[in-house]
């Protein structure tokens, strides 16, 4: 039976000499760690979410009728203001994501590494997302809540709903957990970019910034 390292050697073009299973597992964690740090750096910069169409956070579907009504009466700027603030909250929260993600990566076991053997260029990210999303969401939610408060998302949302209910007869505010929505969107955006960075590490030698990554994936 092939070892994990030997299997990986044939599947993702590892170094010619088979690596130990411990080295292989460490290398996979290292790839995720580096990919995460790069993703955080990218998404937490000014307009890191807003200017990236792949991860930009739009308004929740439950607000579509609110947005349409307000745009129809010339209040579209207030709708845009809320959307921009949500994206700024996401980028602010993303800046705090590294220790949360790295802690989860550290806790991955050798058995976890087996789950990514048959995957493609983003297999580690996909497996990581599948197995850690719930605990990450629990830890990340208060970070997002603080970011939303800092950039004024909740205040803007309340003002938007106030304008809507005042301008539209018999209108009522939709039931919406905005913190959960922004948390999910922020995590989804981070995982998207982590996956892109993992693919670079696997396919582009210049992206393998550490000796362990070069040892695992080739230099």
Q: Which tens digits make up the pLDDT trace of 19-40?
A: 677 777 787 888 888 899 999 9
> Do 57 and 85 contact (CB within 8 A), yes or no?
no
Q: How does pLDDT run across 69-113, given as a tens digit for each residue?
A: 999 999 999 999 999 999 999 999 999 988 888 888 887 777 776
CB burial readout 180-206, b (16+ within 10 A) else e: ebbbbbbbebbbbbbbbbbbbbbeeee
Give pLDDT, residue 18.
65
Nearest-angstrom CA–CA distance, 180 and 145: 9
Contact 29, 106 (CB under 8 A): yes
**Token pair 């039976």 in the structure block, residue:** 1
Tokens 């790069």 found at: 38
């Amino acid at each position: 039976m092939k070892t994990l390292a030997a299997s990986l050697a044939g599947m993702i073009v590892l170094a010619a000499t088979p690596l130990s299973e411990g080295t292989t597992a460490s290398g996979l964690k290292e790839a995720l760690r580096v990919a995460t740090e790069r993703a955080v750096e990218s998404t937490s910069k000014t307009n890191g979410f807003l200017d990236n169409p792949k991860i930009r956070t739009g308004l929740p579907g439950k607000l579509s009728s609110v947005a349409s009504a307000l745009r129809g009466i010339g209040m579209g700027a207030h709708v845009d203001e809320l959307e921009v603030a949500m994206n700024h909250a996401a980028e602010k929260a993303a800046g705090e994501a590294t220790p949360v993600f790295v802690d989860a990566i550290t806790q991955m076991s050798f058995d976890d590494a087996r789950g990514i053997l048959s995957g493609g260029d983003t297999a580690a990210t996909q497996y990581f997302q599948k197995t850690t999303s719930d605990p990450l969401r629990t830890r990340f939610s208060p970070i997002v809540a603080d970011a939303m408060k800092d950039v004024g998302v909740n205040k803007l949302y309340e003002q938007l709903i106030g304008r809507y209910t005042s301008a539209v007869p018999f209108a009522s505010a939709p039931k919406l957990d905005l913190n959960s929505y922004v948390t999910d969107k922020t995590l989804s955006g981070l995982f998207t970019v982590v996956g892109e960075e993992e693919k670079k590490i696997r396919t582009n030698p210049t992206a393998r910034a550490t000796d362990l990554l070069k040892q695992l994936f080739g230099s």
